[in-house]
């Protein structure tokens, strides 16, 4: 079935999903930050400047300066590039070869005037006339002083306050690079109390992770035989299905330290900090091996580098590159295993999924009815229940719920009981809790109502029965109406009996028939069709079109390819482009032929399912009851009806 509302899927699990035991990531300490040191510094610098640069010399207009020379008041002039300084008397013996500093000493009881000169070739003549001692003064003697004043002092002051700032930001004795140090929670050995028994309803994922635990416990067993231990395992599944919980359980079972960090925490405001953090995390982890590094919400850093905003995100990209480098950099025998979790595997950079990185993927899916009951039991363990409570009935009434929702239900029921002043949680509390949680989830359209559930059951049964009676269709491995993975409301899993590289025309028609089976079953049973089949319809149409345009299977253009498939972009995620090599008229023929073939196949399927109404009904009923029917049970059911 087709995706319902992908938006739900994109949501990150809210704080509601957090278990009380979840470590809390400390945030950097910015409190006690104060503006005072900076103000003091500014005042200090300006006072010093004012004293030294603009001392109490009288600045006069150039004309007045010349008047003072003419009137004989100025006896001595120091000529500098940007100003002239005149002195009233001459305490030291005049000696143009040894000019005095333009800065008179404190003892000098001289009057000082300063002026900014204008170009005046007759100025020296005037000085000669009046017998004024004059000398050009280079400020070399004061250069060192002025460098100190203008450069070193401000830098020193800034450095001083920089240090104070750093200390404030990173706690006592820290340095600014502490920003790059990771905030990963290190849980020491033995501290992880979560075990596999605390996780239910995700048996397939657990089975695969049992192996990971064994890698960590007995690495020698695998390396002795020459086997390679996987470096990275990616947990993939909708929010709240227990990915974080599973990662913790792996560490608990293996009794190794566990570093947990969320992808979002790597990406900081400053470019390069995320990368530094990754480096640091792996350094720590290598020291502690064997251990587990768990990167939660990997999509925050692992988004495909090709996608996203124009110009990309430097910080994220650097962080991702560093992660790739680190993953390639350690030896699989070192006992370091990286677990990561994501609910957006579709956006991950393909580089992350290459061999030697996250080459193992474990799907953590929504639990079925049995799994839901088991999860409810785990969470109800610490809650006093009275005899009226039937957890299997609660499980039955919560299709589509994930572990976090179920934990929430148990908690709500307990709260309701407390509010009502009861000593034990009763059936009524659970019903009310389910309603409450459903109301909350309905806004996010994650809940399936009973009527929808019936439609889904018949739809999936339609696929399965069509597959069972269509020659050339792959055998049915599993049918389920538990909302699956990425947006599907249910699915029918067919597994071919052997590996196939070419597909015959008959098999292609069988694929189309099975795809149309879902909608046909809806029409037969309910007399109307739903949007649930839209993905099936897309795929069926696509197959027919390709049969005509690429595989040369149409009657008019038999054995002729009408389109050419161009190479995909390197990395293969981009859709290969198609080159059209036909006329408008042919285009019309293709459209008409697609419509005709689909109509013919749909009639065939309608007829087939019409004749197998019993099987359809039996399977749908079984699905409504048990939600999942495996291949063997399916075969038995088909034979019986
Ligand atoms: P995810 O990381 O997949 O979003 P979490 O592991 O954070 O989900 O799950 C949130 C909480 O929901 C867990 O701490 C646990 O209490 C409960 N939970 C989720 N899935 C399961 C499960 N399969 N079995 C038991 N409890 C579960
Ligand atoms: Zn379908
Ligand atoms: Mg999580």
Highest mean pLDDT: which range of 82-96, 438-452, 627-641: 627-641
* Residues 581/575, Cβ–Cβ less than 8 Å: no
pLDDT band at 578 (very low <50, low <70, confident <90, very high): low
Residue 413 and residue 452 in one domain: no
What pLDDT was estimated at residue 53?
A: 55
- Worst-scoring range by mean pLDDT, 52-61, 268-277, 375-384, 418-427? 52-61
Q: What is the mean pLDDT of residues 496-518?
A: 84
- Whether cis (ω within 30° of 0) applies to the bond prior to 290 is yes
pLDDT surpassing 80 at residue 228: no
Q: What is the mean pLDDT of residues 395-423?
A: 90
pLDDT band at 458 (very low <50, low <70, confident <90, very high): very high
| Domain housing 99 | 55-137
Candidates 315, 460, 523, 593; catalytic one: 460
Q: Which of 384, 404, 438 is the last residue of a domain?
A: 438
Closest to 192 measured CA to CA, from 264, 244, 236 = 244
Residue 329 and residue 207 in one domain: yes
Residue 352 and residue 374 in one domain: no
Pairing type for strands 476-480 and 628-630 reads antiparallel
Q: What is the CATH number of the domain that holds 117?
A: 3.30.720.210
**Which residues are found with C-beta within 5 Å of the ion, ligand 3?**
244
Residue 109 and residue 123 in one domain: yes
Task: Work out the percent of the chain whose per-residue pLDDT is above 90.
Answer: 23
Task: Calculate ∠ Cα 395-398-402, nearest 5°.
Answer: 95
Instruction: Give the chain's end-to-end CA distance (angstroms, integer).
Output: 25
Residue 329 and residue 410 in one domain: no
Domain count, the chain: 4
Q: What is the CATH number of the domain that holds 272?
A: 3.40.50.300
Q: Which atom of ligand 1 is nearest to the CA of 202?
A: 23
Residue 481 and residue 543 in one domain: yes
pLDDT in tens, 66-101: 888 888 888 888 887 777 888 877 555 545 555 555
CB atoms near residue 171 (< 10 Å): 11
pLDDT surpassing 60 at residue 10: no
What pLDDT was estimated at residue 23?
A: 41
Residue 504 and residue 573 in one domain: yes
The helix (run of H) or strand (run of E) holding residue 59 is: strand 58-59
Residue 525 belongs to a domain: yes
Residue 394 and residue 262 in one domain: no
Residue 111 belongs to a domain: yes
Q: Which of 412, 438, 464 is the last residue of a domain?
A: 438
- Between the CA of 375 and the centroid of ligand 3 the distance, in Å, is 17
Residue 432 belongs to a domain: yes
pLDDT band at 28 (very low <50, low <70, confident <90, very high): very low
Pocket test for ligand 1, best of 404, 409, 482, 485 (most atoms within 8 A of CB): 404
Closest to 136 measured CA to CA, from 87, 98, 110, 106 = 98
Residue 74 belongs to a domain: yes
Residue 65 and residue 214 in one domain: no
Phi and psi dihedrals of 369, rounded to 5? -60, -40
Pick 639 or 89 by higher pLDDT: 639
Residue 422 belongs to a domain: yes
pLDDT band at 497 (very low <50, low <70, confident <90, very high): low
What CA dihedral angle connects 189, 193, 199 and 204, to 10 degrees?
20
Residue 2 belongs to a domain: no
pLDDT band at 345 (very low <50, low <70, confident <90, very high): confident
d(CA 43, CA 51): 12
Q: Which of 422, 438, 454 is the last residue of a domain?
A: 438
Residue 281 belongs to a domain: yes
What pLDDT was estimated at residue 20?
A: 41
Residues with CB under 6 A from ligand 1: 13, 17, 19, 199-202, 237, 239-245, 341, 375, 378, 403-404, 407
Residue 552 and residue 632 in one domain: yes
Residue 221 and residue 293 in one domain: yes
* Residues 343/300, Cβ–Cβ less than 8 Å: no
211 in active site: no
Residue 497 and residue 536 in one domain: yes
Residue 337 belongs to a domain: yes
Pick 18 or 42 by higher pLDDT: 42
Q: What is the mean pLDDT of residues 377-404?
A: 89
* Residues 302/342, Cβ–Cβ less than 8 Å: yes
What's the chain's average pLDDT? 78
């Amino acid at each position: 079935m087709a995706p319902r509302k992908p938006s739900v899927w994109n949501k990150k699990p809210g704080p509601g999903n957090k278990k009380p035991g979840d470590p809390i990531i400390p945030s950097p300490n910015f409190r006690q930050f104060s503006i005072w040191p900076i103000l003091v510094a500014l005042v200090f610098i300006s006072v010093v400047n004012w004293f030294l640069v603009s001392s109490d010399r009288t600045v006069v207009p150039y004309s007045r300066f010349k008047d003072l020379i003419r009137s004989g008041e100025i006896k001595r002039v120091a000529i500098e590039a940007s100003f002239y300084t005149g002195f009233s008397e001459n305490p030291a013996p005049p000696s143009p070869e040894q000019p005095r500093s333009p800065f008179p000493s404190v003892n000098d009881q001289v009057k000082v005037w300063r002026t900014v000169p204008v170009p005046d070739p007759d100025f020296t003549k005037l000085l000669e006339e009046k017998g004024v001692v004059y000398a050009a003064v280079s400020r070399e003697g004061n250069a060192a002083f002025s460098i100190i004043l203008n450069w070193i002092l401000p830098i020193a002051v800034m450095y001083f306050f920089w240090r104070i700032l750093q200390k404030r930001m990173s706690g006592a004795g820290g340095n600014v690079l502490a920003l790059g140090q990771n905030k990963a929670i290190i849980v020491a050995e033995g501290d992880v109390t979560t075990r596999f028994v605390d996780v239910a309803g995700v048996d397939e994922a657990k089975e695969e992770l049992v192996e990971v635990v064994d890698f960590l416990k007995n690495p020698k067993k695998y390396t002795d035989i020459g086997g390679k231990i996987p470096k990275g395992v990616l947990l993939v599944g909708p929010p709240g299905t227990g990915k974080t919980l599973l990662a913790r359980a792996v560490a608990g079972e293996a009794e190794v330290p566990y570093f947990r960090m969320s992808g979002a925490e790597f990406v900081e405001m400053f470019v390069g900090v995320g990368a530094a953090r990754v480096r640091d995390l792996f350094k720590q982890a290598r020291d502690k091996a064997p251990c587990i590094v768990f990167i939660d919400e990997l999509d925050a850093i692992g988004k495909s580098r090709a996608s996203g905003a124009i110009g990309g995100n430097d910080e994220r990209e650097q962080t991702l590159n560093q992660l790739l480098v680190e993953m390639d950099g350690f030896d699989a025998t070192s006992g370091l295993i990286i677990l990561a979790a994501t609910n957006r595997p579709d956006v991950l950079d393909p580089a992350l999924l290459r061999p030697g990185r996250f080459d193992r993927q474990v799907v953590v899916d929504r639990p079925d009815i049995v799994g839901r009951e088991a999860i409810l039991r785990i969470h109800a363990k610490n809650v006093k229940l009275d005899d009226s409570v039937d957890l299997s009935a609660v499980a039955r009434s919560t299709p589509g719920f994930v572990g976090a929702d179920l934990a929430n239900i148990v908690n709500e029921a307990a709260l309701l009981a407390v509010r009502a002043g009861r000593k034990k949680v009763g059936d009524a509390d659970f019903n009310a809790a389910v309603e409450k949680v459903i109301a909350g989830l309905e806004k996010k359209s994650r809940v399936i109502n009973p009527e929808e559930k019936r439609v889904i059951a018949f739809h999936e049964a339609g696929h399965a029965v069509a597959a069972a009676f269509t020659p050339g269709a792959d055998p049915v491995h599993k049918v389920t109406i538990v909302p699956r993975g990425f947006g599907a409301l249910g699915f029918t899993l067919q597994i071919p009996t052997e590996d196939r590289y070419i597909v015959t025309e008959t098999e292609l028609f069988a694929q189309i028939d099975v795809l149309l089976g879902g909608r046909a079953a809806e029409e037969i049973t309910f007399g109307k069709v739903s949007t649930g089949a839209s993905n099936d319809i897309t795929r069926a149409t696509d197959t027919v079109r390709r049969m005509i345009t690429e595989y040369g299977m149409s009657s008019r253009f038999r054995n002729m390819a009408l389109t050419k498939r161009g190479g995909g972009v390197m990395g293969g995620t981009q859709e290969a482009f198609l080159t059209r090599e036909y006329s408008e008229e042919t285009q019309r023929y293709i459209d008409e032929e697609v419509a005709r073939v689909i109509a013919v196949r749909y009639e065939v399927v309608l007829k087939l399912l019409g004749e197998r109404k019993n099987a359809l009904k039996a399977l749908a009923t079984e699905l409504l009851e048990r939600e999942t029917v495996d291949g063997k049970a399916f075969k038995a059911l088909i034979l019986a009806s």
